[in-house]
Amino acid sequence: MSLNLVIAQAMLLILGLLGLATSEPSMVPDHAVKVILALLITFGLSRLRPTAFMKMGTVVWVVTLILLALVLVIGVGSGTKRWLLLPGFQFQPSEFAKIGLILQLASFFSRRGVQHKLLSASLMIGFSTLLVLLEPDLGSTVLMFSLGLILMYAAGVRFTNITGLVAAVVLLALPFVSIYLERHPYITARFDLHTAGDVTQLSQIEKAHRDLGYGGFWGQGPDGSRFDYFAAHTDMIIASVGFSTGLLGVTMVIFAYWLVVSAALQVAEMASRVRPMNPQVHGASILAMGAMFMVVGQAFVNLAVAAGIFPVTGVPLPLVSYGFSSMLTMSIAFALIHSALREVRRNLPQDESAVELVPTAAD
C-alpha cells in the first residue's frame, strides 16, 4: 500500500471529524464509526488485484444503472430525487455510479483496446450521465461526464476524438438547455449567490467566507463561537474546517488531495515503462486515473463552490463531508489506486522495481 495515500486518507478523515465537531457535534460518534468502516473498506479492497475489479465491471455498472433508474421512480429528496431509502439506511446511487463507470470502462478498454471503440464507450458514458441528469443533479452530471472523458484519455483515446465527442454533445444538448432550466428553476437560482443586508441576511456562501475569515491562521478550535447555517457539515464543511483549524487546516486538505494526484500520476508513469504493456497494467492505469479524478475532481468543485467561483451544487467534499454514500465510494476509489500501484510495481522490469522510490506501508 502507498504510504502517501494512507496519510492522505487519514488527514482527510481526521479533518472531517474536526469540521463536524465544529458544525454538528452530536453527529461525531456516528461519523467516527463510519470513518473506521471507511478505512477497513479501503484496506480490505486494496488487497484485490485490478483484474478482480475489472471482472466485476459490467455487473457493477449495470447494477448502478438500475439503481439510477429506480431513483427516478421511487427516489426521495428535497425537490429532487437523488436518494434511495432502505430500512435504516439511505444512499445516493449517483455516487456508486461513478465507481461503476470506472470499472466498466477500465475493463472495456483493457480488453478491447481503444481503436474504433469511441462509439461504444460514449454510449456507456451517455447512459450513466443521462440518468443522473434526469434526477436532476447537474453537479454530479458534469462530474460524471468529465469522469468519462478522463477515463477515455487515460485509456489512450485521441484528444481530437474526445474533443469531437464534447462538441457533439454540446450541439445535441443546446436545444434542450432552456427547457431543462425552465423545469428546474432552482439551478438558475443558485447563480444568485449574494444578498445585501446585515449579517442575518448573508447568503450561504457569504457565511462560509465569514467562518473561513474568522479561522485565521491557526483556527478557533471546534468549540469556537460561530453562527449556524445550512450544510455547514456537508457541502460547506471546508468552512467549518477553516473555522476550527484555520488556514493551516485548509492547506492540509489541499495537500492531501495533491498526494492523491501524485499517487495516480505515479501509476501512469510506471505503467508507461512496462514494455510491452499488458491488459492488466493498462487497466490498472485507467483505474488509478479514474479513481483520482473521481476524488480530486469532486474536491475541486466543492472547494470552488465554497470559494464562490461556482454556484452551489450540492457536491460533498470527499472524505471530509458528513455522509456515508460519498465516504464509502471515495474509500473504494482509494482502494483502486492502492491496487493499481501494486500491480504496476509487480510488472516493472526487475532492475527498475528494485530502485522504485515510492514510499510504501507494509503490504
Give the tens place of pLDDT for each residue, 100-113.
Answer: 999 999 999 998 88
CA distance 51 to 34: 28
Whether the pLDDT of residue 201 is over 90: the answer is no
What's the pLDDT tens digit per position in 104-160? Answer: 999 999 988 887 778 899 999 999 999 999 888 888 999 999 999 999 999 999 999
Residue 135: predicted pLDDT = 86
Lookup: cell for 355: 530502485
pLDDT of residue 334 exceeding 60: yes
| % residues pLDDT > 70 (the chain) | 91
- Say which amino acid occupies 318: P
Question: φ and ψ at 85, to 5 degrees?
Answer: -100, 130
Highest-pLDDT range among 174-183, 232-241, 307-316, 322-331: 322-331
Question: Mean per-residue pLDDT for 200-224?
Answer: 79
pLDDT reported for residue 306: 87
pTM value is 0.91
**What is the model's pLDDT at position 198?**
42
Q: How much of the chain exceeds pLDDT 90, in percent?
A: 60
Q: Residue 2 in contact with residue 358, Cβ under 8 Å?
A: yes
Q: Is pLDDT of 97 > 50?
A: yes
pLDDT at 59 over 90: yes
Strands (E), 111-164: none
Residue-averaged pLDDT of the chain: 87
- The rounded distance, in Å, linking the Cα atoms of 323 and 30 is 10
Question: What average pLDDT does this structure show over 18-23?
Answer: 92
